[in-house]
Amino acid sequence: MKSKRKRTAAVLYNKPTSITTASDLSHQENLAKKEGDDHGSGELVLVAPPIASSYNDRIRPVLDAVDKLRNLAVMEEGVQLPTIVVVGDQSSGKSSVIESLAGINLPRGQGICTRVPLIMRLQNHSSPLPELFLEYDKKVVRTDEEHVSQAINKATQVIAGPGKKISKTPLTLVVKKKGIPDLTMVDLPGITRVPVHGQPENIYDQIKDIIMEYIKPEESIIINVLSATVDFPTCESIRMSQSVDKTGERTLAVVTKSDKSPEGLKEKVTADDVHIGLGYVCVRNRVGNESYEDARVAEAKLFESHPLLSKIDKSIVGIPVLAQKLMEIQARSIARNLTDIVKKINDKLSHNISEFKTLPKAMSSMAESMSSFMRVIGQVKESLRKILLRGEFDEYPNDKKMHCKARLVEILNDFFCDLKECPQSNPTRDFLMDEIKYLEEAKEISLPNFFSRTIFLSILQEKVNGISSIPTDFVETLWSYIEEVVMTVLMSHVQNYYQLQLSAKRAGLNLIEKMKENSMKWVSEVVEMEKLTDYTCNPEFEIEYKKLMAQKDAFMRNVYSCNSMNIEGLGLVDLVNPSKSPHLLPQAFDLRMKMVAYWNIVLTRFVDSMALHLQLSVHKLVNDHLERELVAQMMAPDGNGLEKMMDESPLVATKRAKLDGSINKLKECKEILAKIMDRTATTSCGE
**CA–CA separation, 494 and 376 (whole Å):** 7
- The one of ligand GDP, Mg ion, none whose footprint includes residue 534, by CB under 5 to 8 A per kind, is none
**CA–CA separation, 151 and 635 (whole Å):** 61
Nearer to Mg ion, 92 or 330 (CB): 92
From the list 376, 362, 369, 360, the residue with the least C-alpha distance to 643 is: 369
> Across-strand partners of 83?
220
259 sits near ligand GDP (criterion: CB under 6 A): yes
- Residues making up the chain, counted from first to last: 687
Site string for ligand GDP, 261-300 (x = CB under 6 A): -----------------------xx-x-------------
Closest separation between CB of residue 71 and Mg ion, Å?
22
- Residues in contact with 5: Cβ distance below 8 Å, sequence separation at least 6, in sequence order: 48, 53, 56, 57
Residues 453 to 512 in contact with ligand GDP, rule: CB under 6 A: none
- The one of Mg ion, ligand GDP, none whose footprint includes residue 90, by CB under 5 to 8 A per kind, is ligand GDP
**CA–CA separation, 270 and 280 (whole Å):** 9
114 sits near Mg ion (criterion: CB under 5 A): yes
Residues 235 to 254 in contact with Mg ion, rule: CB under 5 A: none
Nearer to Mg ion, 167 or 538 (CB): 167
**CA–CA separation, 594 and 596 (whole Å):** 6
SS3 200: coil
The CA distances from residue 620 to 282, 321, 372, in Å, are: 88, 86, 23
Nearer to Mg ion, 191 or 595 (CB): 191
Write the DSSP assignment of 578-646 as a string of letters.
TTSSGGGHHHHHHHHHHHHHHHHHHHHHHHHHHHHHHHHHHHHIIIIIHHHHHHHHHHSTTS--TGGGG
DSSP state, 303?
H
| Contact pick of 56, 83, 114, 617 for ligand GDP (by CB under 6 A) | 114
Give the dihedral sign, CA 339/341/347/349: negative
Residue 460 host element (H or E): helix 453-467
**CA–CA separation, 322 and 99 (whole Å):** 13
Closest separation between CB of residue 256 and ligand GDP, Å?
4
Site string for ligand GDP, 53-92 (x = CB under 6 A): -----------------------------------x-xxx
Closest separation between CB of residue 119 and ligand GDP, Å?
15
Nearer to ligand GDP, 56 or 91 (CB): 91
- The one of Mg ion, ligand GDP, none whose footprint includes residue 519, by CB under 5 to 8 A per kind, is none
108 sits near ligand GDP (criterion: CB under 6 A): yes
From the list 44, 54, 65, 52, the residue with the least C-alpha distance to 9 is: 52
Question: For residue 124, which phi and psi values (nearest 5 degrees)?
Answer: -75, 135
Nearer to Mg ion, 159 or 548 (CB): 159
Closest separation between CB of residue 217 and ligand GDP, Å?
22
Closest separation between CB of residue 368 and Mg ion, Å?
57
Nearer to ligand GDP, 90 or 184 (CB): 90
30 sits near ligand GDP (criterion: CB under 6 A): no
Closest separation between CB of residue 278 and ligand GDP, Å?
19
How big is the site for ligand GDP, counted in residues (CB under 6 A)? Answer: 20
**CA–CA separation, 490 and 487 (whole Å):** 5
SS3 420: helix
Closest separation between CB of residue 111 and Mg ion, Å?
10
Choices 92-100, 327-335, 473-481, 490-498 (CB under 5 A): range interacting with Mg ion: 92-100
Closest separation between CB of residue 151 and Mg ion, Å?
15
> What percentage of the chain's residues is helix, strand, coil (to nearest 5)?
60, 10, 30
Choices 88-96, 360-368, 486-494, 630-638 (CB under 5 A): range interacting with Mg ion: 88-96
Closest separation between CB of residue 346 and ligand GDP, Å?
38
Q: For residue 382, how many other CB atoms are within 10 A of its CB?
A: 14
Closest separation between CB of residue 113 and Mg ion, Å?
5
Residue 336 host element (H or E): helix 319-358
Burial of 474 (0-12, 13-18, 19+ CB in 10 A): buried
8 sits near Mg ion (criterion: CB under 5 A): no
220 sits near Mg ion (criterion: CB under 5 A): no
Q: Is 574 left (phi over 0), alpha (psi -120 to 50) or beta?
A: beta
| Contact pick of 95, 156, 237, 372 for Mg ion (by CB under 5 A) | 95
Closest separation between CB of residue 288 and ligand GDP, Å?
7
Site string for ligand GDP, 165-194 (x = CB under 6 A): -------------------------x----
Nearer to ligand GDP, 91 or 662 (CB): 91
Residue nearest Mg ion by beta-carbon distance: 95
Nearer to ligand GDP, 70 or 286 (CB): 286
Q: Is 114 left (phi over 0), alpha (psi -120 to 50) or beta?
A: beta
> Across-strand partners of 579?
none
DSSP state, 22?
G
Nearer to Mg ion, 113 or 326 (CB): 113
- Cβ(183)–Cβ(175) below 8 Å: no
Nearer to ligand GDP, 95 or 519 (CB): 95
Residue 183 host element (H or E): strand 183-187
Nearer to Mg ion, 170 or 508 (CB): 170
CA 107 to chain centre: 41
Q: For residue 76, how many other CB atoms are within 10 A of its CB?
A: 9
| Contact pick of 93, 179, 248, 427 for ligand GDP (by CB under 6 A) | 93
Closest separation between CB of residue 652 and ligand GDP, Å?
46
Closest separation between CB of residue 11 and ligand GDP, Å?
20
Positions touching ligand GDP (CB under 6 A) are 88, 90-96, 108-109, 113-114, 190, 256-257, 259-260, 284-285, 287
Positions touching Mg ion (CB under 5 A) are 94-95, 113-114
